[in-house]
Amino acid sequence: MSGNLACAEGAIAAGCRFYGGYPITPSSEIAEHMSRRLPQVGGHYLQMEDEIGSIAAVVGASNAGAKSMTATSGPGFSLMMENIGLGVITETPCVLVNVQRAGPSTGIPTLIGQGDMMQVKWGSHGDYEVIAYAPNSVQEMFDLTIKAFNMAEKYRTPTFVMADQVIAHMTSKVVIPTPDKIEIVNRKRPSRSNSGFTPFPYDHDFPPMAMAGDGFHINVDSLTHDEHGYPSLDNSVSQRMLDHITGKILNHADEIIETEEYLTDDAEVIIIAYGSTSRSALRVVKEARQREKKLGLLRLITPWPFPAKKIEALGEHVRAFVVPEINYGQMEHVVREYASCPVIGVHHAAGALIPPQKIDLALEKL
């Protein structure tokens, strides 16, 4: 199947039963497939008038008890940013898939880009942390979509799958395990006997979540709020809330972060890549090893939280990092922040996959 269909099937396997979306190339196949599949499993598909309404519906459906998701691309992702912040401050689990395309603005709707990697981290205003995955295969479109739902439910937060057009439209074999072999995480629910239920206990990283209709008196508000969900102008309340929202991810970063290493043990130079670019980088590494060049690859499966400790450790033993991206150096900046060795960025304009030869040219400088 294609990457987009694998993503949709992964969502259903994870328990997704609500999709609120608006079609946009190159993610539209996810919406189309979910419109057919969700009614078959007792779910609901809702096409909204735009991406602003889509993410609002997703946040609302999650608060009503449904595992919910949407999929979009760059221009739609920009429109969703305000209500992504709403999902963050209300600690609402949901999944957003961004099939990145060429930008800025309308760009090239049908061709690849990787220009939203900083936007997913910093796009909505205020202080918060995100969990984002960057699949590099059709199989990972299935697997990491399930994982994104699990993380969203566990950490009570919007979670992202930062795919790209090449991976979304690539076709490959996909192994779909039987349901009993798929790990599924569901949000904690409060006990009905808990008369003193507090909806936002800031001393718990993973507090239970009451759904609309459960019988609990709760207030879900976009304003800075106290543990009971009621708005507050008190700076100490703001600090407790923000420490909780950021801390529940930062305090567990080592458990969330995923990377893949290929021949890094003896590498003198390491390529750091993600998404479809990591496929070009892997070819470069394999061909370099045939020429007895000590080159390795570090693949960022979770660009966010960023694997700072891994970069620091590897940087102590290599001559340089090379960071190829289909943008003008977004993740390169973060690598530089933690690297103790030189960092060479390979910038590639959106609209085409980085050819291995372009990475080779950068390596020639070393």
CATH classification at residue 164: 3.40.50.970
Q: Is there a domain that residue 218 lies in?
A: no
122 and 19, same structural domain?
A: yes
Q: Is there a domain that residue 134 lies in?
A: yes
38 and 135, same structural domain?
A: yes
312's tokens: 């620091």
163 and 305, same structural domain?
A: no
Q: Is there a domain that residue 62 lies in?
A: yes
Q: Is there a domain that residue 105 lies in?
A: yes
3-state secondary structure of 95: strand
Nearest C-alpha neighbor of 80 from the set 102, 65, 95: 95
pLDDT for res 194: 62
Residue 39 φ/ψ, nearest 5 degrees: -60, -25
279 and 167, same structural domain?
A: no
pLDDT for res 209: 95
Q: Which domain holds residue 158?
A: 3-181
Residue carrying the six token digits 């130079």: 269
Q: Which residues make beta-bridge pairs with 162? A: 98
The number of beta carbons lying within 10 Å of the beta carbon of residue 66 is 19
Q: How many domains does the chain have?
A: 2
135 and 33, same structural domain?
A: yes
Strands 343-347 and 320-325: parallel
Of 154, 181, 208, the last residue of a domain is: 181
Nearest C-alpha neighbor of 21 from the set 40, 1, 38, 42: 38
Q: CA gyration radius for the chain? A: 21
pTM above 0.85, yes or no: yes
| CA pair distance 220, 226, nearest whole angstrom | 11
Helix (H) or strand (E) holding 308: helix 308-315
Q: Is there a domain that residue 359 lies in?
A: yes
Sort residue 228 into left (φ over 0), alpha (ψ -120 to 50) or beta. alpha
Q: Is there a domain that residue 58 lies in?
A: yes
21 and 168, same structural domain?
A: yes
pLDDT for res 96: 98
29 and 156, same structural domain?
A: yes
206's tokens: 């993973």
Percent of residues in the chain assigned helix, strand, coil, to nearest 5? 40, 20, 40
pLDDT for res 37: 98
Task: Identify whether 190 is preceded by a cis peptide bond (ω within 30 of 0).
Answer: no
Of 147, 181, 215, the last residue of a domain is: 181
The answer to whether the CB of 159 falls within 8 A of the CB of 173 is no
Residues 6 or more apart whose Cβ sits within 8 Å of residue 46: 18, 19, 20, 21, 57
295 and 161, same structural domain?
A: no
| CA pair distance 228, 205, nearest whole angstrom | 16
166 and 49, same structural domain?
A: yes
Question: Average pLDDT for consecutive 10-residue bins of the chain (366 residues)?
Answer: 98 98 97 98 98 98 98 98 98 98 97 98 97 98 98 98 98 96 96 80 90 89 95 97 97 97 98 98 97 97 98 97 98 98 97 96 89
Q: Is there a domain that residue 253 lies in?
A: no
Contacts within 8 Å (CB) and 24+ apart, 307-312: 307/257, 307/259, 308/337, 308/338, 309/254, 310/257, 310/259, 311/272, 311/335, 311/338, 311/339, 312/338, 312/339, 312/340
266 and 169, same structural domain?
A: no
**CATH number where 321 lies:** 3.40.50.920
> Which whole-number Å values give the CA distances from 251 to 128, 246, 292, 305, 364, in the listed order?
13, 8, 41, 11, 40
175 and 34, same structural domain?
A: yes
123 and 31, same structural domain?
A: yes
Of 153, 181, 209, the last residue of a domain is: 181
pLDDT for res 235: 98
Amino acid at 254: D
Q: Is there a domain that residue 75 lies in?
A: yes
Strands 259-262 and 295-300: antiparallel
The answer to whether the CB of 101 falls within 8 A of the CB of 76 is no
| CA pair distance 289, 265, nearest whole angstrom | 13
The distance from CA 335 to its chain's CA centroid, rounded to whole angstroms, is 18
